[in-house]
């Protein structure tokens, strides 16, 4: 008897293969989408966590070592207010971070050509006669046209002051044709440019103008341009990081400080000029820890701040607190940050911003 043939097929049919293929594509696509979305979510979560928990910055470099105390001019107790009140928009002092830059400043050095260079500058400003030597490195020139003027210069660093008798000449008030603000600033810059004394960090900065009126032989601030007899032009370096401006021992008065008359034209209209610029090496800087603005506020209240402008009130209301840099009229080794407290009636007070442990003791 013959055995029956087994026709059972153990392999996948075409229908089954198609079914399983569709399932693979379906669930494989789902898995791929989950992986993509999961990766995006994971990366977003990591980025958010890092943003909310940034790594601590490296410590300040303090590469100049302990810094000298800022050499503020001497002041007496009568140059200080009786009390202070803080009335800022927020009701407190703002924060400025935990560190600030300190820049190396370039000191002048004597040169065999110092005398020649000083005389060249004086000659360019029409002081053509031989100077009077009034100190080891201080020369004085005089001239009588167009005004009685004198020029005093330190021949080593070329800090100089041009002064005249402009306040004693009523005719300078009779024909006032003052330039506009922009022209006044350009006039002072061009005056310095002729002797290569206009540094790049001043050339790129905007000047500040104050309108002045002569009252009883003294200059007072005028109420408007039309009321002014003279213009005061102050030039400072460009602010650090475009934010933190310079402040001098006389407040907003610039390292280059000029008075312009409208009765004279061109460079002759500059009847007074004080130039005390010292170069900064902006590539040579270190970062230093700074005290908080609240600590600086307590120092101001204790009477230990430097008062650049007393204002007119014995009780001062502080309206604004800033971080700036002190630009001394005397040569200094470093350009250092200060807290600046601005109050009513022109009050201006400074406190060194550097943490005291990084300042030389006994200075």
**91: Cβ contacts below 8 Å, ≥ 6 apart:** none
Q: What is the pTM of this model?
A: 0.83
Q: Would you mind telling me the total number of residues written for the chain in this entry?
A: 363
Three-state secondary-structure class, residue 302: coil
Q: For residue 19, what are the CA distances in angstroms to 8, 16, 30? A: 21, 5, 17
Q: Residue 233 in contact with residue 208, Cβ under 8 Å?
A: yes
Q: pLDDT tens per residue, the chain (363 residues)? A: 455 455 555 566 777 777 777 777 877 778 888 888 888 888 887 777 777 777 778 899 999 999 999 999 987 777 788 899 999 999 999 999 999 999 999 998 888 889 999 999 999 999 999 999 998 899 999 999 889 999 999 999 999 999 999 998 888 876 578 999 999 999 999 999 999 999 999 998 889 999 999 988 889 999 999 889 999 999 999 999 999 999 999 999 999 999 999 988 888 999 999 999 999 999 999 999 999 999 999 999 999 999 999 988 889 999 999 999 999 999 999 999 999 999 999 999 999 999 999 999 754
**DSSP-assigned states of every residue in 185-223:** HHHHHHHHHTTT---HHHHTSPPEEEEEEEETTEEEE-S
For the beta carbon of residue 114, count every other beta carbon within 10 angstroms. 18
Q: Residue 319 in contact with residue 311, Cβ under 8 Å?
A: no
Exposed e or buried b per residue across 321-342, where buried means at least 16 C-beta atoms within 10 angstroms of its C-beta: bbbbbbbbbebbebbbbbbbbb
Of 285, 248, 286, 258, nearest to 72 (Cα)?
Answer: 248
Considering the domain 77-104+282-358, what is its CATH architecture? Beta Barrel (2.40)
Instruction: Show the tokens assigned to 176.
Output: 């006032």
DSSP 67: B
List beta partners, residue 221. Answer: 212
Number of H helices, E strands in the chain: 6, 18
List beta partners, residue 164. Answer: 149
Spatial separation of the C-alpha atoms in residues 77 and 287, rounded to whole Å: 33
Instruction: Show the tokens assigned to 284.
Output: 């040579």
Three-state secondary-structure class, residue 325: strand
Q: Residue 229 in contact with residue 176, Cβ under 8 Å?
A: yes
Cα 175-178-184 angle, rounded to 5 deg = 150
Three-state secondary-structure class, residue 7: coil
């Amino acid at each position: 008897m013959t055995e029956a043939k087994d026709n059972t097929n153990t392999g996948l049919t075409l229908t089954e293969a198609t079914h399983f293929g569709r399932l693979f594509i379906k669930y494989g696509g789902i898995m791929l989408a989950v992986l993509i979305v999961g990766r995006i979510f994971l990366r977003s979560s990591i980025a958010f966590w890092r943003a909310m928990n940034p790594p601590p910055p490296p410590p300040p470099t303090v590469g100049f070592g302990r810094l000298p105390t800022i050499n503020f001019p001497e002041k007496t107790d009568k140059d200080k207010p009786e009390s202070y009140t803080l009335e800022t928009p927020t009701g407190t002092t703002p924060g400025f971070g935990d560190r600030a830059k300190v820049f190396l400043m370039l000191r002048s050095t004597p040169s065999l050509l110092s005398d020649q260079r000083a005389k060249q500058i004086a000659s360019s400003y029409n002081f053509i006669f031989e100077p009077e030597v009034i100190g080891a490195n201080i020369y004085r020139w005089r001239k009588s046209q167009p005004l009685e003027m004198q020029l005093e210069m330190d021949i080593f660093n070329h800090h100089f002051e041009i002064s005249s008798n402009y306040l004693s000449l009523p005719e300078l008030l009779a024909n006032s044709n003052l330039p506009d603000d922009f022209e006044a600033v350009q006039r002072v810059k061009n005056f310095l440019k002729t002797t290569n004394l206009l540094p790049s960090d001043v050339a790129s900065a905007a000047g500040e103008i104050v309108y002045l009126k002569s009252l009883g032989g003294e200059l007072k601030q005028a109420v408007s341009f039309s009321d002014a007899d003279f213009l005061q032009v102050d030039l400072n370096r460009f602010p650090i990081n475009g934010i933190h401006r310079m402040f001098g021992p006389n407040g907003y008065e610039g390292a280059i400080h000029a008075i312009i008359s409208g009765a004279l034209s061109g460079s002759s209209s500059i009847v007074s000029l004080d130039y005390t610029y010292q170069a900064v090496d902006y590539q040579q800087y270190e970062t230093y820890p700074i005290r908080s603005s609240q600590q600086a506020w307590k120092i101001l209240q204790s009477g230990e701040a430097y008062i650049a402008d007393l204002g007119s009130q014995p009780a001062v209301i502080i309206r604004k607190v800033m971080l700036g840099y002190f630009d001394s009229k005397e040569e200094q080794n470093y350009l250092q940050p200060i807290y600046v407290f601005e109050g009513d009636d022109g009050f201006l007070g400074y406190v060194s911003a550097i943490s005291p442990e990084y300042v030389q003791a006994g200075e």
